[in-house]
A and B are shown apart, each in its own frame.
Chain A
Amino acid sequence: MKPRSRGPLAVVAAALLLTASGCAGGSDPLANSPAGGVDEGTLVIGSQQYYSNTIIAEIYAQLLEAAGYDVERDFEIGQREVYASELTNGNIDVFPEYTGALLQYYDPAAGSGTPEEVYEALTESLPEGLTALEPAEATDQNEFVVTPEYAQEHDLVSIGDLAGVDDVVMASSPEFETRPFGPEGLREVYGVEVELQVIDDSGGPLTVNALLDGEVDVTATIYSANPAISEHGLVVLEDPKGLLPSAHLVPVVSDDADDEARAILNEVHSLLSQDELLALNSRSVNEQAAAEVVAREWIEKHSLLD
Chain B
Amino acid sequence: MNHLSEAVRWLLDAATWSGPTGLGVRTVEHLQYTLVAVLLSAAIALPIGLAIGHFGRGKNVAVAGTGVVRALPTLGLLTLVALFTGLGLTAPMVAFITLAVPSIIAGAYSGVESVDPRVVDAARAQGMNGWQTLLTVQIPLGLPLIIGGIRLAVLQVVGTATIAAYVGAGGLGVPLFLGLRTNDYPLLLAASLVVIALAIVLDGAFDLAQRLIRRLPGFA
Contact = CB atoms under 8 A, between A and B. Distances in A.
Contacts of B130: none
Contacts of B196: 12, 15-16
B155 interface: yes
B1 A8 contact: no
A1 B114 contact: yes
A55 to B, nearest CB: 22
Q: With a 10 A CB-CB cut-off, give which of A198, A209, A210 has the most chain B CB atoms.
A: A198
Interface in B47-103: 79, 82-83, 86-87
Contacts of A19: 4, 189
A5 B3 contact: no
B145 A197 contact: no
B4 A198 contact: no
B167 interface: yes
Contact of B168 (A8, A26, A28, A198): A198
Given A1-B144, A1-B145, A213 B86 contact: yes
A205 interface: yes
Interface in B169-214: 174, 177-178, 180-183, 185, 189, 196, 199-200, 203-204, 207, 210-211
A3 B83 contact: no
Nearest to A9: B200
A199 interface: yes
Q: With a 10 A CB-CB cut-off, give which of B79, B87, B177, B207 has the most chain A CB atoms.
A: B87
Interface residues of B, number: 35
A174 B177 contact: yes
A88 to B, nearest CB: 13
Contact of B165 (A198, A201, A205): A198
A79 interface: yes
Contact of A178 (B3, B182, B203): B182
A3 B210 contact: yes
B181 A201 contact: no
A288 to B, nearest CB: 15
Interface string A8-27: 11001001100110011011
Nearest to B91: A206
B2 A23 contact: yes
A28 B6 CA distance: 13
A201 B166 contact: yes
Given A174-B174, A174-B178, A205 B83 contact: yes
A206 B79 contact: yes
B218 to A, nearest CB: 18
Given A81-B183, A174-B165, A215 B87 contact: yes
B203 A8 contact: yes
Interface string B20-59: 0000000000000000000000000000000000000000
B83 A209 contact: yes
Contacts of A9: 200, 203-204
Interface string A119-143: 0000000000000000000000000
B94 to A, nearest CB: 14
Interface of A: 1, 3, 5, 8-9, 12, 15-16, 19-20, 23-24, 26-29, 79, 81, 173-175, 177-178, 197-201, 205-206, 209-210, 213, 215-216
Given A3-B210, A12-B200, 12 more contacts: A9-B200, A24-B4, A81-B180, A173-B181, A175-B182, A198-B168, A199-B168, A200-B177, A205-B83, A206-B167, A210-B87, A215-B86
When A and B form their complex, which 4 residue pairs have the shortest distance between CB atoms, in order from nearest? A198-B168, A175-B181, A81-B183, A174-B177
21 contacts: A3-B210, A5-B207, A12-B196, A12-B199, A15-B196, A23-B189, A28-B185, A29-B3, A81-B180, A81-B181, A174-B181, A175-B182, A198-B165, A198-B174, A199-B87, A200-B166, A200-B167, A201-B79, A205-B83, A206-B82, A209-B83
